[in-house]
A and B are shown apart, each in its own frame.
Chain A
Amino acid sequence: MTAKVAHKIVLHFPQQTWDRPIVCMLAKEFDLCFSISKAEITHEEEGLVVLDLSGAESEYKRGIKFLKEQGVRVEPLERDVTRVEAKCTHCGACLAVCPTEALDVDRETWLVSFDPGKCVACELCIAACPPRAMQTAL
């Protein structure tokens, strides 16, 4: 019996794949469970879907391989919270909400740093950042 895995991932669909039922295939062919938390088509007509994907580890790997073969770019969600450095005023408002210290302040310079490695993509900082420097790629 293989272990079960669950990941939050971001799928970027190139224009030519958007009309095919690729996500459904994950359930049909690989017996994976998914719940979509966001789906969007950007102006360039690139499809973008955020989903929780879970299932048996071996099937999960095959599913991801299948997605890539279809031309879908797969990324862990973590990578999709970014900071637009030029917009950050180093006010510190985000520090109240960040649960992981991915956002942290140096108490000498009072500059606020962002460590993507510690970020769990909870997105709490996005609404808390007044100049909207914290963004998702969504």
Chain B
Amino acid sequence: MSVKRTVAEINERIRKGQAVVMTAEEVARLVKEKGTRKAAAEVDVVTTGTFGPMCSSGAIINTGHTKPRIKMKKAWFNDVEAYCGLAAVDCYLGATELPESDPENRVYPGAFPYGGAHVIQELVAGKEVRFRAIAYGTDCYPRKEIETTVSLKTVNEAYLFNPRNCYQNYNCAVNLSDRTIYTYMGVLKPNLGNANYCSAGVLSPLLKDPLYRTIGIGTRIFLGGGVGYVVGPGTQHNPEVRRLPSGVPAGGAGTLAVTGDLRGMSPEFVVGVSFTGYGVSLAVGLGVPIPVLDEEVMRHAALGDEDLVTQVIDYSHDYPEMVARSLGEVSYAQLRSGSVQIQGREVPTVSLSSLPKARKIAARLKEWIGAGDFLLSEPAATLPGPGSGIAIKALHERARKH
């Protein structure tokens, strides 16, 4: 008899402490040993995890009203500007924002030691940060400036709102030129000196639910050490890419927009990072539980590094110039082995996403569910999948119409 379960049934088992939960690495082994059918019958939930730089991240903060009131026009946290084009004391602190004093790439390659992501990490760590705002003054909001300190204790709301996290799959970056280049994929040495990749592979959430059968709008997730939710498809969600017969995308595809309260998160899983020559980013820990609704869900969740592939892309010319060219397809098992063959050369591989942290996240989520502390949620709506017609577009410059 084939396995069928609903999220409600799984939650019932979680509440009773009966649910069987395994990480994606564990079920990959289990399926090899016992086959998909048996594994699907045994396991209720598969947990995933990933930890890597996710630039499209930031925090929405409501600082609370001042006396007299202010309608902030510009605001800074530790000299990093937050966007204030919202209501009076609401602002959005972007992860990649830099202090105005940062020399950027004027002294190349720039060091980018501090930015919005670091402020967010400090807030999560419970630290006080300097806050400054200016305004033009109105009858209802007369105040024109304020300078003080704030922390997660003093503000009203402070939550991560990340428009694009958790890429389903990501390029493996190389450099074909003869000089070192500094990218968001790290330092790339000349002439295929190294190949940098950034995916948790076997543990990566969207690779384990490649057709978005269980992950959708409203899915409760592990975010930054606390609890968060999927808000919807992330920006640049691109489900119509080439897929392997198993359904997994052969390159970058789906993304998630996510949110979660900064209170409850941990600086271990919300980390400000600096990419020399590129800028600042936020490394985010994210984990998604996958309810094993049937055998197909298990077959996907149990795919191993050898079943998952990505494309090798040149970041010295092809990526910046928008040239769609792959230098080859490599599996995550090959990438994990320490080197891959590219254009007949043996190129050492480097991971930018942390597997030890991804493992920790999947294990933590497993613990939470096992302890009955974390129930699964049925998506309010599914994400656009293959066949939806949703495809990523480039911006084509057009002559201005008069």
Contact = CB atoms under 8 A, between A and B. Distances in A.
A132 B273 CA distance: 7
A138 to B, nearest CB: 13
A97 B194 CA distance: 9
Interface string A82-119: 00000001111101110000000001011100000000
Given A91-B351, A95-B350, A107-B336, A131 B356 contact: no
A107 B274 CA distance: 25
Contact of B276 (A91, A107, A128): A128
A14 interface: no
Interface string A8-24: 00000000000000000
26 contacts: A89-B51, A89-B271, A89-B283, A90-B354, A90-B355, A90-B357, A91-B52, A92-B350, A93-B186, A93-B196, A93-B350, A93-B352, A95-B350, A96-B187, A96-B194, A96-B348, A107-B336, A107-B338, A111-B356, A128-B187, A128-B276, A130-B186, A130-B281, A130-B352, A131-B271, A131-B274
Contact of B113 (A91, A95, A107, A132): A132
B304 interface: no
Given A93-B196, A93-B350, A95-B350, A130 B275 contact: yes
B49 to A, nearest CB: 13
B189 A96 contact: yes
Given A91-B52, A96-B194, A130-B273, 12 more contacts: A89-B357, A91-B351, A93-B196, A95-B348, A110-B351, A110-B359, A127-B109, A130-B53, A130-B352, A131-B271, A131-B272, A132-B274
Interface string A118-138: 000000000110111000000
Contact of B352 (A91, A107, A132): A91
Interface in B95-132: 109, 111, 113
Interface residues of B, number: 33
Contacts of B196: 93, 96
Nearest to A109: B356
A130 B196 CA distance: 13
A130 B354 contact: no
Contact of A92 (B53, B193, B351): B351
A97 B354 contact: no
A91 B349 CA distance: 12
Interface string B329-359: 0000000101000000000101111111101
Nearest to B283: A89
A93 B351 CA distance: 6
Interface of B: 51-53, 109, 111, 113, 186-189, 193-194, 196, 271-276, 281, 283, 336, 338, 348, 350-357, 359
B192 to A, nearest CB: 12
A92 B353 CA distance: 8
Contacts of A97: 187, 189
A79 B212 CA distance: 50
Contacts of B109: 127
Given A93-B196, A96-B189, A130 B283 contact: yes
> Looking at B113, B188, B352, which has the most chain A CB atoms within 10 Å of its CB?
B352
A16 B300 CA distance: 68
Contacts of A96: 186-189, 193-194, 196, 348, 350
Nearest to B51: A89
A5 B268 CA distance: 45
B29 to A, nearest CB: 14
Given A95-B350, A97-B187, A132-B274, A110 B356 contact: yes
Contacts of A110: 351, 354-356, 359
A96 to B, nearest CB: 4
A26 B271 CA distance: 45
Contacts of A92: 350-352, 354
Interface string A62-80: 0000000000000000000
A93 B359 CA distance: 18
A70 B187 CA distance: 42
A125 B197 CA distance: 18
